[in-house]
Amino acid sequence: MSTENEGNPVPPAPSAPPVPVDTPAASADTAPGSVPEAPAEADGTPKYPADAPAYPQSAPQSAPQSAPEPAAASAPVDPARGDETAAHAAGSPAAAQGDWPPPAPPAVPAYASGDGAGAGGWGSTYQAPEPKPGGRRGGLVAAVAVAALVAGGIGGGVGYWAAERNDNSSNSTTVSASDTGPAPKRDAGTVAGVAEAALPSVVTLEAQGSNGEGGTGTGFIYDTQGHILTNNHVVASAADGGKLSATFSNGKKYQAEVVGKAQGYDVAVIKLKNAPSNLKPLQLGNSDKVAVGDTTIAIGAPFGLSNTVTTGIISAKNRPVASSDGGNSKASYMNALQTDAAINPGNSGGPLLDSRGAVIGINSAIQPASSGGGMGGSGQSGSIGLGFAIPVNQATTVAQQLIKTGEPVYPVIGASVSLDEQSDGATITQEGAGGSKSVTPNGPADKAGLKPGDVITKLDETVVDSGPTLIGQIWTHKPGDTVKITYERGGKEHSVDVVLGERKGDS
């Protein structure tokens, strides 16, 4: 599976419209550029009224100089233009009978300068702007579900067009709704109602490290003291002497600082400086109670487009995902909620809401597409309907610890396991990091009798198919919890209870 965060290239614009082929040939008695004489009735009166539209004195250069032979009636239909194109291809009745005046070719639009296919014309392809230097391209490599971190790099983005039309002409055929009637009703349980209530509590984050690198992401108000919950990978660059700001949906911008971050969980807590007194925290839901098929609403700033709302469902639960930014950083692990709500770079750290507007997860990663170049030249892909969110129950446990002490606490079994994705369980390695023992002496696994070479296949009732899956499952617990571990040794299956230990800080 691809680990690159890629999207689809921007399709080229359509070529210039074809000039109709049913323009009549010039008569041998008519000089080029002259106006042909209009036909008359037998008594000499004009066949058409005097105010009939004049035939153009000359056709565009691309118009044919002689009438074409009528096409066969079975001419293929252009799928882009339907039956109308087929009618022109076969020759319309008016053209075949020589009625006057023949239809004039359409005017060439101003944006179709040149021959309609050259550079700068209608047929030119879109060129995305060059990204500014210093952009963060945080691609997430997932060990179990391959995903990509969705923090947008500063300077990275996607080209888009905003067109405004102000048509006040009296001959418009459109019908406008009356402004005097009642406004559309948006109940609290609708998507519009949820978005209206939640948007004032969601912020767009801009982080920049002392080296100029950084990124954009999202966060949401956690409490009235000004704490904001987000992803570690969104704000990590600003943790040591960098700059961090949060912009609300009303445009107000505040400086912020990192209170604590947990790289392993990919969770961070920041706090607003000079926080306003009217902060409204988002309601926290219960991620253990969600079901596959439940409605989801994601809010974030995909590709820097702040206050974007998308919808979907819970596609799966307990999806093991391991991730890193593609550099030398250690992986993060989550037992994720999977959603098909559109999540893109810049959505990281934003809330995943249920139909009531309660937070059930923190949007963190996507499965990247395996095709083509980056969207808008950013090197990051767009949504393909596979998004992953950290369950809010786990995120709030981590957040409380970060607010209290500033550092994370991880539950551990005291054993090193292989991170190979293609396995039938989590194998305890023969040697730990840096040549240390793989089973910590007098640690939880050692006390339970686990040894190097044992293959852990279950944690409680959850099947363990790899090391990342085991870690993600362990990290849904707290230090001191007792878990049942099923393992294989010498072809035989065994089970043992293990009391989880703890590790403080990101090592």
Residue positions annotated with a catalytic role: 233, 266, 348
Q: Are 475 and 264 in contact (CB under 8 A)?
A: yes
Measuring CA to CA, how many Å separate 127 from each of 74, 121, 160, 377, 443? 40, 13, 11, 9, 58
Instruction: Please tell me the distance from the alpha carbon of residue 6 to that of residue 344, in angstroms, as a whole number.
Output: 11
From the CB of residue 49, how many other CB atoms can be counted at a distance below 10 Å? 6
> SS3 for 112?
coil
Residue by residue, DSSP assigns 211-247 as TS-EEEEEEEE-STTSEEEE-HHHHGGGTTT-EEEEE
Q: Which of 62, 57, 56 is nearest to 19 (CA)?
A: 62
Run of H or E residues at 473:
helix 467-474
Q: What's the start-to-end Cα distance of the chain, in Å?
A: 29
Structure tokens at 65: 């100089």
The CA angle 365-242-239, to the nearest 5 degrees, is: 55
Please check whether residue 146 is in contact with residue 4, taking contact to mean a CB–CB distance below 8 angstroms: no
Number of residues that make up the chain: 507
For 56, the token pair is: 């153009």
Among 146, 138, 225, 201, residue whose Cα is nearest residue 353: 201
Measured distance CA(443)–CA(503) in Å, rounded? 11
The secondary structure of 175-210 as a DSSP string is: -PPPSSSPPPP--TTSHHHHHHHHGGGEEEEEEE-T
- Which of 207, 306, 194 shows the shortest CA–CA distance to 250? 306
Q: Retrieve residue 311's tokens.
A: 């919808």
Q: Report residue 483 as tokens.
A: 């878990």
Nearest-angstrom CA–CA distance, 43 and 81: 43
- Whether 56 contacts 23, CB under 8 Å: no
- Tokens representing 287? 């991620």
CA distance 396 to 412: 19
